[in-house]
Structure formats: C-alpha cells, structure tokens
Chains A and B, each alone.
Chain A
C-alpha cells in the first residue's frame, strides 16, 4: 500500500468513526451539535482523502460539481424555514439517491456495459440502481405532495395494486436476470427506467398524514442505495454510512407505523388510501360549542396548568412563535405550560419539536406521549392547536373507526379543552372527531396564528386590568 493510498484509507476510517460518534451524540440534545460538527469534519477528511487518490487525474468536473453543489446546498441548509422541513428532507433524499444511481450507471457503463462485471458486483450495482431509481422519483413525489404542487390526497385508480405488483415483479425479474447475466445492457437500462416508475406508483396513492412513514422509508432506501454503491466500488466508508442511514430510516419507519398502529403494508397499499366508506360515527345530532377569543383568554388566564398539543395545523399557520408568546404570558401569571408531542404529529418524525425549539421553548418542556399521557387528568386546559387524529378518542373506544387502536394523547381527560381549528372539516383520515363534541371542549375557529395572537392580546389586557 502506497503512502497516498494509506492516507486515503486512514481518512475513510476516521470518517467512519466520526460518523458513528456523531450519530451517538444525537442521543443527548446537549452534546448533539458538537458531535455532528465532528461528523462534518469526518466528511471533509474523507473528501480530501479521495481527492488525493491517484485515479483522479482531472479536477475540472470535480471542482465544477463541488462549486455548483455548494451554491445550491448552502441556501437549502441556511434559509429553508423550519416549517418546510418535511419537503426539504424529502428532496434531499432525492439528491442522495440520484448520486448513488448515477455512480452505479457510470460504473456499469465503464465496465464494458456489463461485460467485465462479476455476478457479485452486479448484485450490488443492480440493487443500487434499482433502489436509487425508485427513491429518486418516490422522494420527488413526496416532495411534490408536501410542497403542494401535487395533490396531497391519495391518487388511486382501478386495478392500481395489480399494475404496481406487475411493475415491481418485472423490475425485480430484470434484476435477477442481470445478476445471472450481467452483460445485458438493455436489461440494466430498462431496470433503471422501471425503477423510476416504481417510485412514482409507490408514493402516488399515499396521503399527507402517512408522509412521516414514507419519508422515513425513503430515508432508509437512500441509505441502502449508498451502501450498495460501497459494495459495487469496494468502498467501506460508503457501506458503513449507508448501513447507518438504512438502519435509521428503518427504525423511524417502525416507530412511525407503530404510532399509527398500522403495518408497513397497510400504509403502502393503503386502507387510508381509499375514501372512507363506512363513516364510523357521524356527527349528526351533535353540536360543537364555539368559544370567542375573549372567553378562551379568560379561561387560560386562570389556568394553573396548561398542556399544549400541537399538530400539522400549527406548522401550516407558522404559529410556533405565537404559541411561545402565549405560554410566556401564562407562565407570567403563575401557570405552568407543557407540550405534548405525538410521534406522528406533523408531516415528519420530530417536526413539532423542531418548530417549538425554533420558538425558543426549552426542550425539557417538550414531552413525549408516554411521558405526558398521565398528566392530562390534572391539566386545567388542554390547548389543541391544529391536531386532529392524534387526539381522537375514537382510537380508544370506537372499534369501527379506521384509527382504532392507534395510541393517542389523552386530551379528553383534561378538565377543559380548547381546540383551535380552521373549520369543522375532518382531518386527513377523514374521520369525525368526537373530542370536538365533548361537553368539556370549546372550539376556537380560525387560523391558528391569528387566533393565538388574539389570545395573547386578550390575556395581556386581562392581566393588566
């Protein structure tokens, strides 16, 4: 091993260690930032280590790619608002998968269009390109749905599952054929194209509320494609980083689907995908109790303990700063405010935490579901901001409901409940929420942000009076 080669390998080893330590630092919020900065250093080392490789003879395209990538990446890192984090992450899965796929295609082409490819390498290349291609389009579809230039509702048509199954079977068949017979370029390129279609058809029928699972799953796929790249070009640091990413995405998908009490298969081939035929319990004969901002402010002014339950509605209205203002006032009046975060609140894992942290709310007040569910019965007011399905008691007591069995926040046990909601439209799952018809519940209609601002003004005025 030459000195240069030794340096490259040492930089890869250091990068692998720093990546693992970086991820480990994420187990504690206080150490996380430093750990991830070290991981970034590891990345820098690996890049420098690669640039000194003797195979690299021409730096023109490298410099151009690094420059353009940095020019696009910098604003994506610095200026994208926290509310847009789900779509930001979705599009980055696309970039990751794109890089892996293109490297795979370049490798296949360079090795005589498959002529010099061994069976083992072909297995890696095929896996890389197949998963890469479906992640590219799948992530783009997810991005489109979250950015709302594609319909967020599930897009379904007759015989969809049959078409998907056929598409998937053919793609997989081509993969198997290629491993057996690597020197078949047409099969390779056809597999790439079909992979792209698989990605589209995979995400098309999935609705907005199921996005946390989809994003996690695509995260996992992008990681696996990277790992496969490592196998194909015999690079261990790629294998390690890809395996870490794959494991992370897989674990998050598990956490998410558990929090929705549904299986992977159920989400991907969706019960929610179809319009709900049997409306579990209809709202006929029941009426909700609207409340004015003035009355709600009085209620909150006297509350000793308040639990805020944020949901996607808070993100859409960008109301996190107004939440913080209100909480400050309640705390100034001597009350206590905590936040109950359901694992699937919002459109991606942990999104609510990031938004509330952005509004300067200390993270020790952000409570996970298991931690806070016992405390609702002592809460004077539970303030639900744009959350729906995650607080629906039907999940506990209505066996005919599509969300039956899903773990929920015990908001209905609070002494009183204020629900902020734009209108009486049911949530993404299209299910009526009996919480809204509870005697203890008052509905504060309107955009979450302007409602909160009104509340802040009222609470302030009351405190001054």
Chain B
C-alpha cells in the first residue's frame, strides 16, 4: 500500500467523522431534504464519469463513461432542484404574509440551483 492510499484513508475517515457530527444534528423535520441533498452531493461521481467519457482511452470506457455521465447528471440536476423545491416550502410560522393560495404547482424557482455547466 503506497502513500496516497493512506492519505486517502485519512480523508475518508475524517470526512466520515465530520459527516457524522453534522448529520446527527439535522432535525427529523428535514430528513427527506437531507437524503435528497446527500444524494445530489454524492453525484460528484460525475467527475469520475467525465474523465472516463472524455479521455479517449478505449471504446468501452468511453461508452460506459457516457452512460455514467448521463446517470450522474440526472442526480446532479434533479437532486439539487428537488432539494431546493422542498427546502423553500419550509417556512416559519408567525408570518401571516404567506401566500394563501395552494402551492401545489409552485412557480419554478430562480435556477440558481441547477448545477449544470
């Protein structure tokens, strides 16, 4: 086992600790957005897919990479959008100015959360 693997193991374990510390503090109220958020974040595997799809190694890698890019992009775009859609519904009481209409078909949010290049 060479040096970088050890360092990577450190990174993994420490990131796991950070995750554990933070996520135990997320209230049950937001557990669904938490799940969609972590799902969107872990779609960072897109980064690996991009390299596989674009580095022209061989045909197999390119095609597998292409499918992987597609799948990961679905999660990046869909994941961040749906998390944003959920989070904007959570509002504090005592603000009677909230819209009276039903937000069933809410207007699209500013597309800041797209995450698409």
Contacts and interface: CB of A to CB of B under 8 A. Distances in A.
Interface of A: 12, 15-16, 19-20, 22-24, 26-27, 29-30, 32-33, 36-37, 39-41, 43-44, 46-48, 50-51, 53, 55-59, 61-62, 64-66, 68-70, 72-74, 76-78, 80, 82, 85, 88-89, 92-93, 95-96, 98-100, 102-103, 105-107, 109-110, 119-120, 215-216, 219, 222-223, 226-227, 229-231, 233-249, 251-252, 255, 321, 341, 343, 348-351, 353-354, 357-360, 362-366, 368
A57 B56 CA distance: 7
Nearest to A230: B8
Given A27-B27, A354-B86, A248 B34 contact: yes
A229 B45 contact: yes
A103 B35 contact: no
A120 B71 CA distance: 27
Contacts of B40: 39-40, 43
Interface in B35-77: 35-58, 60-77
Given A77-B85, A78-B108, A351-B32, 4 more contacts: A248-B23, A251-B24, A357-B89, A364-B92
B112 A244 contact: no
A47 B50 contact: yes
Given A68-B70, A74-B81, A77-B79, A360 B98 contact: yes
A58 B58 CA distance: 12
A40 B44 contact: no
A27 B77 CA distance: 23
Contacts of B116: 44, 66, 70
Given A98-B68, A350-B33, A231 B43 contact: no
A231 B35 CA distance: 23
User: 6 shortest A-B CB distances, which residue pairs?
Assistant: A69-B73, A77-B81, A65-B69, A350-B31, A362-B93, A73-B77
B114 A40 contact: yes
B99 A360 contact: yes
B72 A95 contact: yes
A33 B87 contact: yes
B81 A102 contact: no
A193 to B, nearest CB: 15
B58 A99 contact: no
A226 B99 contact: no
Contacts of A40: 40, 80, 84, 112-115
